[in-house]
Structure 1
Amino acid sequence: MRTRAITGLFFVIVVLASIVFNAYLFTGFFLVLNACCLYEFYRIVGDANGKPNALLGLLFGVLAFGVYGGYQLGDLSPNCLLLVIPLAALVWIVPLYQKDQDNPFTGIAYTFLGVIYIVLPFVSFLSLGFLTGAYNYRLPLGFMLILWGNDTGAYLMGRFFGRRRLFERISPKKTWEGLIGGILLALVVSSVLALYYPVISVWQWVGMALLISAFGTFGDLVESMLKRSRQVKDSGSILPGHGGLLDRFDGLLLAAPVVFVWLKLLLSLQTVN
């Protein structure tokens, strides 16, 4: 328990510092997290029935995230994203020369699935920092605080008051009481953020909290479904007492794209009006 607490505290400090310090550190840090989570995903899904091309998938994911981040920072042209096209073609071509691939299309599907499941959400999260134009750490910071608030509320309420199972087939420990506790604490966090960070309105912060609670929970369940289908307890062991990085960011994977699209549409409508 002590190791878990120390690791968790250190990790939270590092994540928050990377967001608040400056745009370059934010982009670089989440580029690394993106690559690590993608690697963990490939490690989990690969088996005798089909193995993803982890090297090409990682190159694809790092290049796509890096170029997009460079574009947001104003250092690269969006045309540089065209560089991912040859890598995408190689994902299809390389299995032709791999004699040990009994199910090549399964491996190809796993490779591209990793990009969709991991890279796209991290790119969406990165975009939150640039949603209002120049880099503004408040939205990605708020996202993480709300997500952690939801997780903390769900854990505490579920542990002390949990009775009714939410999704026993996938995650036996999750309860409806935990879900409610997560939503309530996420709403409290969003209300505090709205008070100190009026970069978006109060109701937009509240809506953001509700989306994060809902889709963050689904993201957690989806990763649990993945691990259960592969009979894996943790996605990795890089964080003592916590498992892998994918275990810590599973809620972000479904919540970040939804929150980004929602805020993007709202801010676009405000601009038009």
Structure 2
Amino acid sequence: MKDLGKRVSSGFIGILLLVFIVNRGGLYLSLSIFLVSIIGLREFYNSMKYINLKPYELIGYLCSILLFFSNYIPIIQLDFIITAIILILLILLLLNKEIDLPSIGVTLIGILYIPFLLFHIQYLENTKYIWLIFIIAFGTDTFAYLAGNMFGRKKLCPKISPNKTVEGSIGGIIGSVIVVVIYSFIVAINPIWKVIILTVCTSIVSQLGDLVASRIKRVTGIKDFGNLIPGHGGIIDRFDSIIFTAPVIYYFVRYLF
């Protein structure tokens, strides 16, 4: 009950903070994404050390800094950032005999997994679609938890996340659809059939994001990525679904709405 109280309290504070940041937008939003990226990247790189990989953390942090400044300096484009980072890593491989391919690979994966995917939130700033990222991620998580506790029988991925069930997964999808449809009527997102397709697809991807994080924890042998958020763990533990939902919603909205 103590852990549940911490989880609820920190979750409530987090939602209030999220509403404030997203509504203010601008520097508040970009700086928040940057901070979450830096902390999440640090958690990811630290977890890799448990399996004897040595990511080049400064390169990852440099990429996060460049992504932040790309909002304010037009010359810093995403393709430039990715190209520069890849070239730097490969040149380091050439010049330093102590640098190996696995370390370069995990450095690049960390960059693409956390700051790059999270950066898609910024693309939806000042649109009514930005809230879908959080509504679907949190809605899926909440309804999956409730449905799993009430109806859960068949394990979804017992070797990766033993508490997740097929019934919970389906409940998460259905619950997120209901919440998103209500939101869509309020803010006038149409057509509803596209909204439903978007929500179902994104809810599935949201759960995959959760499972990916769980798989990484299994591989590295850690319980949580950190302890920054009471009752939730680290940044990745809380944002694992959002990391996946942000780009899916952005590209869905960009090409299909």
Q: TM-score, normalised by structure 1?
A: 0.85
1:140 to 101, 122, 130: 130
- Alignment pair present for 1:58 and 2:48: no
Contact 2:34 2:115 in 1 (8 A): no
| Alignment RMSD | 2.1
* 2:112 partner SS: helix
**How far is the alpha carbon of 1:255 from its aligned partner?**
2.5
**How far is the alpha carbon of 1:30 from its aligned partner?**
1.4
1:92 to 84, 90, 93: 90
Cα 1:201/1:86, change in 2 over 3 Å: same
Name the structure 2 match of 1:190: 180
Name the structure 2 match of 1:150: 140
1:15 to 15, 18, 23: 18
Name the structure 1 match of 2:44: 41
Name the structure 1 match of 2:119: 123
**What letter matches 1:141 in structure 2?**
W
Name the structure 2 match of 1:109: 105
Q: Deviations over 1:29-72 (max 9, x none)?
A: 11211221111111111246420001111111231x2134x1xx
* 1:52 partner SS: coil
Contact 1:31 1:62 in 2 (8 A): yes
Cα 1:227/1:157, change in 2 over 3 Å: same
Contact 1:121 1:252 in 2 (8 A): no
- Alignment pair present for 1:230 and 2:220: yes
Name the structure 2 match of 1:256: 246
Cα 1:76/1:199, change in 2 over 3 Å: farther
Cα 1:79/1:4, change in 2 over 3 Å: closer
Q: How many Å separate the matches in 2 of 1:123 and 1:175? A: 31
- Alignment pair present for 1:76 and 2:73: yes
**What letter matches 2:195 in structure 1?**
W
1:4 to 7, 20, 30: 7
* 1:61 partner SS: helix
Percent identity between matched residues is 28
**How far is the alpha carbon of 1:123 from its aligned partner?**
1.8
**What letter matches 2:223 in structure 1?**
K
**What letter matches 1:212 in structure 2?**
T
